[in-house]
Structure 1
Amino acid sequence: MIQIKDLHKSYQVGTNKLHVLKGLNFEVEEGELVSIMGSSGSGKSTFLNILGMLDEADSGDYILDGFPIKKLNEKIAAKYRNEFLGFVFQSFNLINYKNALDNVALPLYYQGIKRKERIEKAEYYLEKVGLIEWAEHLPSELSGGQKQRVAIARALASNPKVLLADEPTGALDSTTSYDVMELLQGINDEGKTILVVTHEYDIANMTKRIVHLKDGVIVSDEKVIQKRVLQNV
């Protein structure tokens, strides 16, 4: 599903060049649930941005579902993002003046899907995350956990190949974090490929594989015995 070969990325900082990613090699098979960990400055945010086609590597190969992701103009990159990727953010990134249903339906609008079908799909995914009764509520009327569930429903609405979750529990308390991870585990059980960036070990241990980044290189990559939510209660 994802193949990364000898990936390098640097940024110009004043007169100096900061080498952020230093020859990463990384693969994810379809249906995996992988967490990416690393302290501030490890390169994990840069790596996630490249995976999400929000930034481009200086050199190396990135292949997503058989397609080489390289030197794409913004129009093509946006098309691939819509087709291949779903995003979940720590800050939810919901539109405050739109209700939960319209927030979930929004990506489908940009895919040119007619309103009736958009609403049907949005209702389906709100039902899937347990929030269909909150469909008409604005984000300001939802709890943090509910907002993240809406964000997950929105990410799933376009049926992406890969779900990228950037610190999805970072703004939530422990109980709500486990609820969100239980939802992601269930989605993964259905076959969806998910990558979770997190700094929390208890969250990482609820995935099936943990990749550690340090100073721009992968220092460990190991499969783990996945903890299910009920084991944490």
Structure 2
Amino acid sequence: MIEITNLQKSYVTGNTSLHVLKGIDFSVKEGELVSIMGSSGSGKSTLLNILGMLDEADQGTYMLDNTPIKNLNEKIAAQYRNKFLGFIFQSFNLINYKTAVDNVALPLYYQKVGRKERDEKAMHYLEKVGLADWANHLPNQLSGGQKQRVAIARALASDPKVLLADEPTGALDTKTSYEVMELIQGINEEGRTILIVTHEPDIAEMTKRVVNLKDGRIIDDRLVNQIKASAHV
């Protein structure tokens, strides 16, 4: 599903160049649930941005579902993001003046899906995350855990090949974090490919594979005995 070879990325600031990714080789098969860990400055956010087509590598190749991701203009990058990817953010990134159902329907609007079908699909995914009764509530009427569930429903609405989650439990308390991970595990068990950036070891242990980055290189890539989040909920 994802194939990355010799990925290099540097940023120039003033007279200095910061080499952030130093030859990353990384692949993810369809249906995997992978966590990417590393301290601040390890390169994990840069890697996620490149995977999400929000940034581009200086060198190396990136294949997503057998499609080369390279030299995309913003219009094509946006089309590919809509086609291939769903995003889940630490800060939820919901639109405050839109209801839960309208937030979930947003990716479908950009895909030019008709209003009736958008709303039906959005309600389907809100039901999936257990929030059908909150469909007409605004984000400021929802708890942190509910906001993240809406964000997960929005990420699923366009039926993406891959979900990219950037610290999805970072703004949540422990109990709510495990509830969100239980939901993510369930989505993965249905066959969805999911990558999670996290700095929390207990969250990483709830995935099936842990990749550790340090100073722009992968220093460890291992399968783990997945801990079921439901055991903690």
Task: Report if TM-score (shorter chain) is over 0.5.
Answer: yes
List structure 1 runs of 4+ shifted beyond 3 angstroms: none
Does residue 95 of the first structure (1) align with residue 95 of the second (2)? yes
Match of 1:35 in 2: 35
Q: CA deviation at 1:80?
A: 0.2
Residue type of the alignment partner of 1:102: D
Match of 1:173 in 2: 173
Q: How many Å apart are 1:231 and its aligned residue?
A: 2.7
Q: What is aligned with 2:104?
A: 104
1:52 matched residue in structure 2: 52
Q: Match for residue 79 of structure 2? A: 79
Equivalent runs, 1:206-221 vs 2, <5 Å: 206-221=206-221
2:71, 2:39 → 1: CA distance? Answer: 29
Root mean square deviation of aligned Cα: 0.5
Counterpart of 1:112 in 2: which secondary structure?
A: coil
The alpha carbon displacement at 1:68 in A equals 0.3
Aligned to 2:124: 124
Matches within 5 A, 1:152-191: 152-191=152-191
Match of residue 224 from structure 1: 224
| Amino acid in structure 1 at the alignment position of 2:133 | E
Could you tell me which runs of 5 or more consecutive residues in structure 2 were left unpaired when the two chains were aligned.
none
For the residue of structure 2 that corresponds to 1:88, the secondary structure is strand
What amino acid is the match of 1:197?
Answer: V
What is the SS of the residue equivalent to 1:211? strand
1:25 and 2:25 are equivalent in the alignment: yes
Equivalence for 2:140: 140
For the residues of structure 2 that align with 1:112 and 1:121, how far apart are their CA atoms? 13
d(CA) in 2 for partners of 1:144, 1:231:
21
Deviations 1:143-198 (A, max 9, x none): 00000000000000000000000000000000000000000000000000000000
CA contact (8 A) 2:82 2:107 kept: yes
* 3-state SS of paired residue (1:165): strand
Aligned to 1:61: 61
> How far apart, CA to CA, are the structure 1 residues paired with 2:126 and 2:229?
21
Task: Give, in whole Å, the separation in 2 of the partners of 1:154 and 1:46.
Answer: 23
- TM value normalised by structure 1: 0.99
Aligned residue identity for 2:124: Y
Aligned counterpart, 2:70: 70
- Aligned partner of 1:6 in structure 2 is 6
Distance across 1 between alignment mates of 2:187 and 2:158: 14
User: SS where residue 149 of structure 1 aligns?
Assistant: helix
Contact 2:178 2:230 in 1 (8 A): no
2:198 aligned partner, one-letter code:
T
Please report the TM-score for the alignment, with normalisation by the length of structure 2.
Answer: 0.99
Where structure 1 has 5 or more consecutive residues not aligned to the other structure, the ranges are none
Q: Post-superposition shift, 1:13?
A: 1.4
**For each residue in 1:69-91, what CA deviation from the matched residue of structure 2 results, as whole angstroms up to 9, or x when unmatched?**
00011110000000000000000
Identity %: 74
